[in-house]
Amino acid sequence: MSANNLECPIWGSGYSVEGYYKPQNRTFHVENSPRTGGGYVLPEATKNAIVENLSPEQKARLTTWLIDQRKQGNERPTITEQVVRFVTDSPPLPANDRAARLLEFIAKSATVISTRISVSSDTHDAFAYSESTSWEEVEFLIRYLERRGWIGCQHTGGSMSLCTVTVDGYSHIAELTTNLNASQAFIAMWFDETMEVALEQAICPAVEDAGFNPMRIDRKEHINKIEDEIIAEIRRSRFLIADFTHGEDGARGGVYYEAGFAHGLGIPVIFTCRADAVDTLHFDTNHYNHIVWATPEELRERLKNRILAVIGEGPSTHISSNDMVIP
């Protein structure tokens, strides 16, 4: 039936949706919810878990997950209980990523490049794309984009701004989206023979299972400086896997550097670490949601599912993200 008079099952009162509800299997099929940036499928049991357990900030991270799934071609992702657990454990997006996503939303909303877009406290899509829970957060990000020269703004007073993406803003968007169609995954890890089994039986197969091509720099033939090759290959990658396992000689500075460089480019990083090294993680990264593994078999399965959850399917797979199990 028509659901134009229904509220968003995730965000509740004040957020209307277009869609319908199927009572025979007690599942919400939402065609479009501006507060989540589009449509989704939500079993009622999962809805109850969201309403009862998730904070507004966690709902915002769930909204980010939905938007990322749609970018990978899954127009109406199914929100399972495993997805909810994954979102609960995930850290919030860094502020620069949130600003970049808001910039993309404003550009996408423009019919021509000179169009001025009204962004206000009622622009629910702007909240969705920027992982925001209040107008103050959206306004803060708008002013950041304005200071960087990526948008021009006319502030009308109150809770509204008229925004135009500048040429520099469109150039920045082009840089951010260069990697979206990349098939390569860069692997940053300890180059030690004790990690060969994890590489050959877990990390590389997991990347391939998800439809991507693994790249570890010590396996590449080249004649250039290794530092230049690392930077070039990270830039070419859709995402980076950083395993922080190390031996008695201490943390691997190269892994931290490569993960930080990818973050700076806006390239997603998936963090992993063998269980016996978790207590030695540096404070700069220990708050991220690491896959803590004990065996190659465990790492392969959990890493594959994490890639499918965070990145989506690669060009070489036919696995449905609606069928995945998220660690």
d(CA 215, CA 237): 9
Cβ(41)–Cβ(29) under 8 Å?
yes
Average pLDDT over residues 39-48: 90
pLDDT digit string, tens, across residues 200-223: 999 999 999 999 999 987 655 444
Report the percent of the chain where pLDDT is more than 90: 45
* CA 284, chain centre distance (Å): 19
First to last CA, the chain: 35
Average pLDDT, the chain: 84
**Nearest CA to 190 among 268, 252, 115, 257?**
252
**Nearest CA to 161 among 129, 136, 132, 133?**
136
Per-residue confidence (pLDDT) for residue 223, from 0 to 100: 42
pLDDT digit string, tens, across residues 302-313: 999 999 888 888
pLDDT digit string, tens, across residues 106-141: 999 998 988 999 999 999 999 999 999 999 999 999
**Nearest CA to 174 among 113, 242, 223?**
113
Average pLDDT over residues 16-44: 86
d(CA 146, CA 7): 33
**Nearest CA to 67 among 1, 146, 152, 130?**
130
Phi, psi of 149 (to 5 degrees): 80, 15
- What one-character-per-residue DSSP string does 72-120 give? TT-SS-B--HHHHHHHHHSPPPPHHHHHHHHHHHHHHH-SSTT--EEEE
Q: pTM of the entire structure?
A: 0.65
Cβ(6)–Cβ(39) under 8 Å?
no
